Structure 1
Amino acid sequence: MKIVIPDDYQDCVRHLDAFARLRGHDVSVYHDTVADEDALVERFRDAEALVLIRERTPIGDSLLARLPRLKAISQTGGGAAHVDLAACKRHGVTVMAGTGSPHAAAELTWGLVLAAMRHIPEEFANLKAGRWQRTLGTGLKGRTLGVFGYGKIGRLVARYGQAFEMNVLVWGREGTRARAAEAGLDVAASQAELFERSDVLSLHLRLNADTQGIVSAADLARMKPGALLVNTSRAPLIEPGALVAALREGRPGRAAVDVFEQEPVTDHPLLALPNVLATPHLGYVEQDSYERYFGDAFDNLLAFDAGRPVNNLAE
């Protein structure tokens, strides 16, 4: 089978243990992202199968119409929001997704919290430049951690907050609030209260039509001047332009982000702000996660090639 794997930024896929499962197949791996459809067609022209890394390359009807040899798409992780499933069905392309793990994203979230609250990147830069103790950090004990969305990742982050003796405050859909209350956590009376009370507020929502832009400029304006907003979920959860404007106004005082509207990013208004800590969408980019994500994706593809039943999202 002719397999193409795009968007392997770190050139790591070939070095995973899971990659050995594709032995005997013709595999091409690309290490950059291209947006131009003609360029994608050139790369995918002979592909019978694509293995996609999360949401890095969108697959739509126009592209599929130019790839008559394509039979299958195997997606790493559990989501395929960037794939037009209806178009895949029309073109007879099977779409498979695997499973995900919340741990890597939750751990990165907590790393960003600690790094931002204690100014770790700034102080490392100061130390390298010969400057000693130039900032005053903020501790977490006794402060309020707001968790917007109490799913798998949100639950882990809430537990981390408890381990640091923070007061955890949760908001989300009705089911979210019920689960948080059952776990003995404080549930905000409203979304507004979540933003008003939180010293650290972390977003853990799936992006869909209901959650796009769910964090408004008015929400951000309610935050404390010393508060930190953390977003390791999806950038469009926040109203376009609202976070940059809010940070310039000083409410919240800081932000730590791992996600952007268009990725990869080389230039963005957030990167120019002194009160922002940013990482290049590293939430799931971790050795164990990659072994699991790619292992599932390769296993699904091999099952498809062998004619065994698979879970076709495009049915």
Structure 2
Amino acid sequence: MKIAILDDYQDATRSLKCFKLLEGHDVKVFNNSSRGVGQLAARLAPFDAVVLIRERTEFSRALLAKLPNLKLISQTGKVSGHINVEAATELGIAIAEGVGSPTAPAELAWALIMAAQRKIVPYAAHLKEGLWQTVSTAPEHNTVGTVLKGRTLAIWSYGKIGKLIAGYGKAFGMKILVWGGQASRDAAVADGHTAAESREQFFAEADVLSLHLRLADSTRGIVTAADLARMKPTALFVNTSRAELVAEGALEAALKLGAPGGAALDVFTDEPLPPDSPLLRMPNVLATPHLGYVELDSYELYFQHAFQNLADFANGNCKTILNPGYAANIRQAS
């Protein structure tokens, strides 16, 4: 099969142990993103299969319709709204899902919390410039960090990642406050944590607030400007899940108004994030380039399943197809 691996920014896949699963296939690795349906269609037209790294590229109906040779989309992790599954099925294109792990994203979220609270990044950057114990050369921003012990860690959604974050917070002596669906709140209470009595209380009492929701139609824009306005001027807002969970423009506006006092972000509505993004110019924002799952163990896990699914599909025995109805439309798509 002729296979394209998309958006491998660091050219990491070729060095993975699991890459040998693609031996015998014609593989092309793309290290840069292509913008627009026309460009993507031209790039991908020759390929029988594509391997997607999470949601880095959107496969809309318009794009899928322009790829008559495409037979398989092999997804690292789970499909999360970036593929038009209905269109793929109608066009006879199979979608194979993989697996994931909560460990790397949870550890990244905690690393951001620690770094933001103690202002590690600006301290380290200024030290290289010869400035000792300096967060900023602007006096109003040259503030000291704070410890986590005794403060309230607010977690929205107590799933696999949320539970890990709660465990980290408890180990650091934090009070754990959980919001989300009834199942999340009940599970948190069963584990000895506190469920917020209301959404308003959840935002108002948080010293550190971390989002761990899945993005869906029901959660898009679920964090509003009114929610953020309830946060303390000293609070930290953390988002390592999806940028679209926050109403468009609400976080930037809230940070300018001073509540919350800071943000630690790993996800953005436009990725890669443009260098002129206002978020990168805010001294109270710690931003990382969507690193949640970007580490060696996670890559080996994600790609091993994605590559094995592709090899199995080529051999006619892939058992992880998300849309088995695609098979009825193969003749129509050809």
The TM-score normalised by the length of structure 1 is 0.98
Query: 2:205 matched to 1:197?
Result: yes
Contact kept in structure 2, 1:80 and 1:97, CA below 8 Å:
no
In structure 1, the partner of 2:313 is 304
Query: 2:126 matched to 1:142?
Result: no
In structure 1, the partner of 2:44 is 44
Deviation at 1:283, TM superposition (A): 0.5
In structure 1, the partner of 2:20 is 20
Aligned equivalents of 1:301, 1:200: Cα separation in 2: 41
In structure 2, the partner of 1:94 is 94
1:105-254 correspondence to structure 2 within 5 Å: 105-134=105-134, 135-254=143-262
Deviation at 1:37, TM superposition (A): 1.9
Deviation at 1:309, TM superposition (A): 4.0
In structure 1, the partner of 2:140 is none
Query: 2:65 matched to 1:65?
Result: yes
Aligned equivalents of 2:38, 2:318: Cα separation in 1: 33
Deviation at 1:210, TM superposition (A): 1.0
Matched AA of 1:77: G
In structure 2, the partner of 1:263 is 271
Deviation at 1:251, TM superposition (A): 0.4
Deviation at 1:74, TM superposition (A): 0.4
Sequence identity (%): 54
Aligned equivalents of 2:101, 2:181: Cα separation in 1: 22
Deviation at 1:63, TM superposition (A): 1.6
In structure 1, the partner of 2:287 is 278
Contact kept in structure 2, 1:112 and 1:256, CA below 8 Å:
yes
Contact kept in structure 2, 1:73 and 1:95, CA below 8 Å:
yes
Query: Structure 1 pair 115/265, CA: closer, same or farther in 2 (3 Å)?
Result: same
Aligned equivalents of 1:156, 1:195: Cα separation in 2: 20
Aligned equivalents of 1:22, 1:305: Cα separation in 2: 10
Stretch deviating more after TM superposition (302-311 or 113-122): 302-311
Aligned equivalents of 2:304, 2:171: Cα separation in 1: 32
Query: Structure 1 pair 278/155, CA: closer, same or farther in 2 (3 Å)?
Result: same
In structure 2, the partner of 1:103 is 103
Deviation at 1:80, TM superposition (A): 3.8
Aligned residues: 315
Deviation at 1:274, TM superposition (A): 0.9
Contact kept in structure 1, 2:309 and 2:318, CA below 8 Å:
no
Contact kept in structure 2, 1:5 and 1:52, CA below 8 Å:
yes
Aligned equivalents of 1:164, 1:79: Cα separation in 2: 34
Deviation at 1:36, TM superposition (A): 2.0
Contact kept in structure 1, 2:2 and 2:49, CA below 8 Å:
yes
Contact kept in structure 1, 2:207 and 2:235, CA below 8 Å:
yes
Q: Which runs of 5+ in 2 are unaligned?
A: 135-142, 326-334
Deviation at 1:45, TM superposition (A): 1.2
Aligned-partner SS, 2:73: strand
Deviations 1:46-93 (CA, angstroms, capped at 9, x unpaired): 111110111011112222222111111100012242110000111100
Matched AA of 2:293: Y
Consecutive aligned runs of 4 or more in structure 1 exceeding 4 Å deviation: none
Q: Which runs of 5+ in 1 are unaligned?
A: none
Contact kept in structure 2, 1:244 and 1:270, CA below 8 Å:
yes
Aligned equivalents of 1:62, 1:2: Cα separation in 2: 22
Match of 1:294 among 300, 303, 308: 303
Deviation at 1:125, TM superposition (A): 1.4
The TM-score normalised by the length of structure 2 is 0.92
Matched AA of 1:69: N
Aligned equivalents of 1:289, 1:265: Cα separation in 2: 22
Aligned-partner SS, 1:147: strand
